[in-house]
Chain A
Amino acid sequence: MRERLTRALHERGEEIADRWVELQMEQALLDTDIGEAELREEADALIEALVPGLRSGVPVDRVVTSTPGLHEAVVGLSLRRARAGATPTATSLAVLALKEALLKAVQRDTRDAEELFASAVFMNRLLDVAGALSFETYVEGREEIIRRQSQQLMEQSTPVVRLWRQVLAVPLIGTLDTARTQVVMENLLQAIQDHEALVAIVDITGVPTVDTAVAQHLMQTVNAVRLMGADCVISGVRPSIAQTIAQLGIDLSTILTRATLADALAAAIKLIDGPGPDGDEGDDR
């Protein structure tokens, strides 16, 4: 059985690829801008990779996953579909359409019903795995896109603004989790370097609550700013937040905090003009 199929793939590869592409076009499920030429290229690569997979001694239902070239071909195909915006169903169906193309090729060699049936069963076992892998990859691919988009969104939603000569501010809106903290730190520290800023104001007016985790993230940000050689002021501490911080016993005593952004800016300017010549970490707070 395996041999027959391998031979069919080997001898009728072109034909199978043609038929497969045709089927995919017919399905018209691929409402994407993936063109025929690209489909053909994918088909050729996949069919070519199937031959060594079948020739290896691997059990049929593991051929797809354990043949390196084949695995990659299926993964690559699914990812391209995911990016092009095809649905996951269309993607799996496109992979499964290969069964039909293959069966057609086998049909050319034999008309024996029993043999054809056995071929069909064999192909199902071979390619159902590919369908599943395709689906899995597709989902993973979409998740990757979502991850990337949320990263972009996060970067856009943490603008660093210059308030005064050598004073920067970053207004935080929403919660401050680990991922967000990393983005804030990256943007803020880079801006400090670019602007040679001496004070960075982190405004938490838009942060709904401050729990221990958020406080820890704030501390991290402040410490990173200080390592750069700049000072950090936290502004927008509402009474309710101040109470929570006190109740939770979070120690923010080493951090300069102010109720409003305006107060923070005033404090920042005082820090810069400073009482003495020692412009850093001194007792000027």
Chain B
Amino acid sequence: MTGQPQPGVPILRLGDVLVTGLLNELDDRTAIAFTEELTERISAEGARGVLIDISRLEVIDSFVARTLMELTTVARLLGARVIVAGMRPPVAITLVELGIELVGVETALNPEQGMAALGWRQAPQPLEGARRGTSR
């Protein structure tokens, strides 16, 4: 159990796309700080796309869902398209069963697909070891 506050979620930049990921232990404060930082970065760096890897999130409750929806809306207002990638099957099932909605949030199977949707083309011969990074 990690009682101490987490360091901020790292946000990388690849061209005009910001790439980031959410960890499983997402507490409210981290989520809010994350939204703020990401918004700042989109604005400051003129990002056109944001990829959020959620493959490590084991639970998405309505708070996290709302955070993702707000982030998508804010980003859109700032001219960036958000793609949420790698949702786990149990999480997707639980969301639809509990009726927790992710209105307007675009999804992708994995970060690779997400990057492709954001206009990044992968090399014809992907480097060995670069592909499997996100599968469990």
A/B: CB atoms within 8 Å of each other: yes
Q: Is the CB of B93 within 8 A of A226?
A: no
Q: Which residue of A lies closest to B112 (CB)?
A: A196
Q: Is the CB of B89 within 8 A of A228?
A: yes
Q: Does A243 contact B (CB under 8 A)?
A: no
For window 177-221 of chain A, which residues contact chain B by CB distance below 8 Å?
Answer: 182, 185-186, 189-190, 192-193, 196-198, 220
Measured CB to CB, the closest approach of chain A to B81, in angstroms, equals 9
Using an 8 Å CB-CB cutoff, how does the interface string of A129-171 with B read, 1 for contact, 0 for none?
0000000000000000000000000000000000000000000
Measured CB to CB, the closest approach of chain B to A184, in angstroms, equals 10
Measured CB to CB, the closest approach of chain A to B98, in angstroms, equals 11
Q: Does B87 contact A (CB under 8 A)?
A: yes
Q: Does A223 contact B (CB under 8 A)?
A: yes
Using an 8 Å CB-CB cutoff, how does the interface string of B93-136 with A read, 1 for contact, 0 for none?
10111000010001111100110110101000000000000000
Using an 8 Å CB-CB cutoff, how does the interface string of A255-285 with B read, 1 for contact, 0 for none?
0000000000000000000000111110000
Dominant secondary structure at the B interface:
mixed
Q: Is the CB of B89 within 8 A of A198?
A: no
Using an 8 Å CB-CB cutoff, how does the interface string of B52-74 with A read, 1 for contact, 0 for none?
00000000000000000000000
Q: Collect the chain B residues with CB atoms within 8 Å of residue A193's CB.
A: 88-89, 109
Q: Does B92 contact A (CB under 8 A)?
A: yes
Q: Collect the chain B residues with CB atoms within 8 Å of residue A197's CB.
A: 109
Q: Does B18 contact A (CB under 8 A)?
A: no
Candidates B91, B93, B109; contact of A198 at CB < 8 Å: B109
Q: Does B85 contact A (CB under 8 A)?
A: yes
Q: Does A229 contact B (CB under 8 A)?
A: yes
Candidates B87, B93, B95; contact of A229 at CB < 8 Å: B87
Give Cα A226 to B102, complex, Å. 11
Q: Collect the chain B residues with CB atoms within 8 Å of residue A190's CB.
A: 89
Q: Does A95 contact B (CB under 8 A)?
A: no
Q: Collect the chain A residues with CB atoms within 8 Å of residue B108's CB.
A: 229, 280
Q: Collect the chain A residues with CB atoms within 8 Å of residue B87's CB.
A: 227-229
For window 214-244 of chain A, which residues contact chain B by CB distance below 8 Å?
Answer: 220, 223-230
Q: Collect the chain B residues with CB atoms within 8 Å of residue A277's CB.
A: 116-117, 119, 121
Candidates A186, A230, A281; contact of B109 at CB < 8 Å: A230
Q: Is the CB of A189 within 8 A of B92?
A: yes
Candidates B85, B86, B96; contact of A223 at CB < 8 Å: B96
Give Cα A226 to B110, complex, Å. 13
Q: Collect the chain B residues with CB atoms within 8 Å of residue A198's CB.
A: 109, 113
Q: Collect the chain A residues with CB atoms within 8 Å of residue B107's CB.
A: 226-229, 280-281
Q: Which residue of A lies closest to B109 (CB)?
A: A229
Q: Is the CB of A196 within 8 A of B110?
A: yes
Candidates A220, A225, A227, A279; contact of B113 at CB < 8 Å: A279
Measured CB to CB, the closest approach of chain A to B100, in angstroms, equals 10
Q: Is the CB of A280 within 8 A of B93?
A: no
Q: Which of B89, B95, B102, B106 has the most chain A CB atoms inside 10 A of its CB?
A: B89
Give Cα A196 to B114, complex, Å. 12
30 contacting pairs across A/B (C-beta < 8 A): A182-B93, A182-B97, A185-B92, A185-B93, A185-B96, A186-B89, A192-B89, A192-B109, A193-B89, A196-B109, A224-B96, A227-B91, A227-B92, A227-B95, A227-B102, A227-B107, A228-B87, A228-B92, A229-B87, A229-B110, A229-B113, A229-B114, A277-B117, A277-B119, A279-B117, A280-B106, A280-B107, A280-B108, A280-B113, A281-B106
Closest 9 pairs (CB-CB, A-B): A189-B89, A229-B108, A229-B109, A227-B92, A229-B107, A224-B92, A224-B96, A220-B96, A223-B96
User: Known pairs A185-B93, A196-B109, A278-B119. 11 more at Cβ < 8 A?
Assistant: A182-B93, A189-B93, A192-B109, A196-B113, A228-B89, A228-B109, A229-B87, A277-B116, A277-B117, A279-B116, A280-B106
